[in-house]
């Protein structure tokens, strides 16, 4: 994907960090930022992994323990199986790369590949709106919009849905800088900019009108949203909560659903998260 979208600067801001972290064993940036977004890279990766697994299992490769993932995973393999496991690793890289490149060359539009400029980037009035949208998404007019919403009273929900650049609180609690989250995937902004919240309640709601672009149906701990202006948001509850396999989480939406500002997305049980030995749950987007 990085090669296919090398001319798409916005996509490369996600692709390159996700690629590096994935090869080092941290797969969530690639999973949420690329694979689930486009779909076919996930399928291509699964095919390559299946072929690599056939090699490893077929030759009886054994490991000293369950080690880290990615390229460093070879360190947990018994030395006599290094060559076989290395061959499996090559297969796990080459096959997904080749399949993704072939499929992506046909499925990705010229705009997604960065070959042509996005619609509205020609200096017209539409281009001005796109620039204003980017500024608003960065928070340039958030305070003013929030004040307008408060004054609107009962019409706030409709206004939030009509203006996708207005973000409402998606969880009650104390906001903290993303850099203070004890997870490098978020604190190093691998998944992009955002914030973290130490929650007071246990219900995550949609911050604006959007389409549900991704959900983790098994673990139910994360949800991806895409706004009408194309802005993508990832809401991730807790740290390493994927290991809970959905225990203590309730998901109210599925991929493809249309949601309004304030609509429930995920309910989580703070007591169960703490009982699982996981740091106090935080929701990052």
d(CA 257, CA 55): 40
Known catalytic membership, residue 189: no
198 and 211 Cβ atoms separated by less than 8 Å: no
Which ranges of the chain does DSSP label H, i.e. alpha helix? Answer: 9-23, 28-30, 36-38, 40-58, 82-107, 125-137, 142-152, 156-162, 184-187, 270-275
Q: What is the end-to-end Cα distance of the chain in Å, rounded?
A: 23
Alpha carbon 134 to its chain's center? 19
DSSP annotation of 151: H
Could you give the 3-state DSSP secondary structure of residue 17?
Answer: helix
Of the listed 236, 248, 266, 284, which one is catalytic?
236
Distances in Å between the alpha carbon of 271 and those of 170, 181, 190, 277, 280? 20, 19, 29, 10, 9
d(CA 254, CA 262): 16
Report which of 191, 46, 44 is spatially closest to residue 107, judged by C-alpha positions. 44
Furthest-apart CA pair in the chain: how many Å? 71
Q: Which residue has the tokens 């955002």?
A: 194
d(CA 120, CA 122): 6
Report which of 139, 140, 159 is spatially closest to residue 149, judged by C-alpha positions. 159
Catalytic residue positions? 236
């Amino acid at each position: 994907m990085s090669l296919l979208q090398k001319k798409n600067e916005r996509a490369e801001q996600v692709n390159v960090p996700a690629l590096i972290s994935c090869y080092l064993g941290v797969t969530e940036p690639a999973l949420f930022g690329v694979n689930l977004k486009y779909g076919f890279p996930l399928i291509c990766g699964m095919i390559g992994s299946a072929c690599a697994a056939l090699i490893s299992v077929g030759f009886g490769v054994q490991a000293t323990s369950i080690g880290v993932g990615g390229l460093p995973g070879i360190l947990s393999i018994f030395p006599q199986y290094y060559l076989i496991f290395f061959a499996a690793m090559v297969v796990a890289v080459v096959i997904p790369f080749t399949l993704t490149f072939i499929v992506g060359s046909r499925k990705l539009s010229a705009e997604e590949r960065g070959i042509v400029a996005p619609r509205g980037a020609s200096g017209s009035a539409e281009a001005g709106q796109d620039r204003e949208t980017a500024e608003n998404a960065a928070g340039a007019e958030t305070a003013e919009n929030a004040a307008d919403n408060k004054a609107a009273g009962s019409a706030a929900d409709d206004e939030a849905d009509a203006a996708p650049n207005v973000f409402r609180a998606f969880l009650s609690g104390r906001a903290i800088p993303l850099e203070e989250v004890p997870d490098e995937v978020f604190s190093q902004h691998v998944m992009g900019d955002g914030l973290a919240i130490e929650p007071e309640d246990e219900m995550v709601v949609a911050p604006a009108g959007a389409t549900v672009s991704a959900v983790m149906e098994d673990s139910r701990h994360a949800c991806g949203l895409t706004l009408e202006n194309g802005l993508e948001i990832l809401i991730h509850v807790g740290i390493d909560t994927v290991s809970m396999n959905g225990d203590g989480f309730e998901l109210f939406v599925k991929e493809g659903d249309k949601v309004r500002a304030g609509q429930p997305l995920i309910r989580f049980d703070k007591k169960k998260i703490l009982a699982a030995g996981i740091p106090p749950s935080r929701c990052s987007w």
